Chain A
Amino acid sequence: MEEQLAELTARIAELEASAAVTNTMFAETYYYLTIPLMIIIHAGFLGYEMGATRMKNVLSSGVKNILAFAFMVPTFYWFGWWVYWAFPTGVTFSVGPAGISGAEYANAIALGWGEAAQYMGPNIADQASGVFWGAFTLFACTTASIMSGALIERIQTVGFVICAIVLGSFAWVVAAAWGWHADGWLVTQFGVHDFGAAGLVHAVAGFFALGVLINLGPRIGKFNSDGSSNDLRGHNLPFTVTGLMLIMVGFWGFLMACIIVPGEAWSWYPDKATTIYGTPITLSALSFNILMGMGGGIIGSWAFTRDPFWMMSGCLAGLISVASGLDLYFPSLAFIIAFGAGMLLKPAADVLERWGIDDAVGAVTVHGTIGIYAMVVLGIFATGYPALQGAEGEVARISLIGQIVGSIVFFLLGFVPGYIVSYILKMAGMLRVPDHVQINGLDPVKVPAQAYPEGIPASPAASN
């Protein structure tokens, strides 16, 4: 009997060890797969902004988007990852209530040298750090790509790369530390809830772009002397629309990466998937609300514009508008909110243009304005929901005031660094491409390749 019990105990231990290996491999594979999915976002933005560019500048737009990706990777390795872990409690760099933040913690796990380097390179005892770092690096690439499209056809390449580094490896990372990390002061003190990063990724990137656009100025020919504007159409609308659809594909990976899987030492629960705040979520919840958000945004834009560019922008806006509460919305409510975002899109972009801002792809509106809309709408509908995992009375709850405070902070974290860094670049003569180059085209001057050596025939013009 005792022998059988010992055998059974050994067998159970063996099965538990096997299950743990399977769970760890699942968790690692889960985040690993979000990385190529998010690279599709970057591919989409590449097509989106190249299509929205006139033929004489198309490869220059492509070059800067590719460089945004390339520079995000090492800079996020050098200091972006450290910023995320060091900043949650604010500029005190102290440890927060969850004990996974502060300068000391960041120094121990997120530096590419010394003792911390064991977590920043191949290590058979660590199957989490690399995939988490990779997923966050692609979040950073997404912010840089969001800004990239707004600035096409007149920004210098190195000046753009510097802006992208400040945004992707610092500004949005601080926003994520404050409003996403379980120790983030916006979360613990104000109950800010932004599951899918509508505020801390989209709004920060959109308003960073606005800060840069103010110093960069419009493309030559965009505005007339009387203040009226001209429509500088891109050379390939189908390319732009397809790019937007690719972005939508990639966002499934982006949002998947916002989930903490169960059963690992770093998980919130042994048996339940959670948001980054430790509150419950399922992939099914995402499926319901992402699709309803996409559908609502497209329909809202179609009803008011009938323009495929704005319809696909509406698709993205619809998704962003419900991103903060993808874990909490009822699908029909998500559809209604996204429909509102789709309707809001074009008028909001028109207002920006009337202010003399030349946002070539509507990035400030789609990501900035709709990002803030998402934050505030969640504050209206989700007031009273616990913002974090924890007992009643011990954790902050979601509130309209908290969401508004979060929105203001995210706006400032985007706009202020964007304005300052672009102002410095402007003073250094590194921001705007000289007028004669803009007139002749950036590609003939800067790119040793030709986009369309055999040309593209024009399609019939729209009759209305």
Chain B
Amino acid sequence: MGFPYSEADWAVVDGAMFMGAGGAMTGIYTAITIVGSIILLWKCNRVEQSLYESSEN
């Protein structure tokens, strides 16, 4: 991804220093975590419901 400043020297950094600062990647990472977490909860809920059903038998 590369250093987000034109000069590879920490002395030029006076604000955000994280990977993807000032670009689109931060939003993409956040979107991945939100969508991924929702899908995960949906799948894990299906597993949980099947466990309840199997415990009745």
Contacts and interface: CB of A to CB of B under 8 A. Distances in A.
B18 A329 contact: yes
Contact of B7 (A280, A306, A330, A392): A392
Interface stretch (A220-228, A383-391, A421-429, A430-438): A383-391
A339 interface: yes
Contacts of A384: 1-3, 8
Contacts of A170: none
Contacts of A327: 17
Contacts of A332: 26, 29-30, 32-33
Q: Is the interface of A mostly helix, strand, loop or mixed?
A: loop
15 contacts: A303-B44, A328-B17, A328-B18, A328-B19, A329-B19, A330-B20, A332-B33, A333-B20, A335-B33, A336-B33, A336-B36, A382-B19, A391-B11, A392-B9, A397-B8
Interface in A353-406: 381-386, 389-393, 397
A302 interface: yes
Given A382-B1, A386-B10, A464-B51, 9 more contacts: A280-B10, A299-B37, A328-B17, A328-B19, A333-B19, A333-B29, A339-B36, A385-B8, A393-B8
B9 A390 contact: yes
Interface residues of B, number: 29
Interface in A282-332: 285, 299, 302-303, 306, 325, 327-330, 332
Interface in B1-57: 1-3, 7-11, 13, 17-21, 25-26, 29-30, 32-33, 36-37, 40, 43-44, 47, 51, 54-55
A349 B17 CA distance: 35
Interface of A: 278-280, 285, 299, 302-303, 306, 325, 327-330, 332-333, 335-336, 339, 381-386, 389-393, 397, 463-464
A285 B43 CA distance: 32
Contacts of B47: 306
Given A303-B44, A339-B36, A391-B9, A330 B3 contact: no
Contacts of B20: 330, 333
A405 to B, nearest CB: 20
Nearest to A333: B29
B9 A381 contact: no
Contacts of B8: 384-386, 392-393, 397
Contacts of A285: 18
B2 A383 contact: yes
Nearest to B34: A332
B40 to A, nearest CB: 6
A325 B1 CA distance: 14
A326 to B, nearest CB: 10
A325 B40 CA distance: 26
A56 B51 CA distance: 34
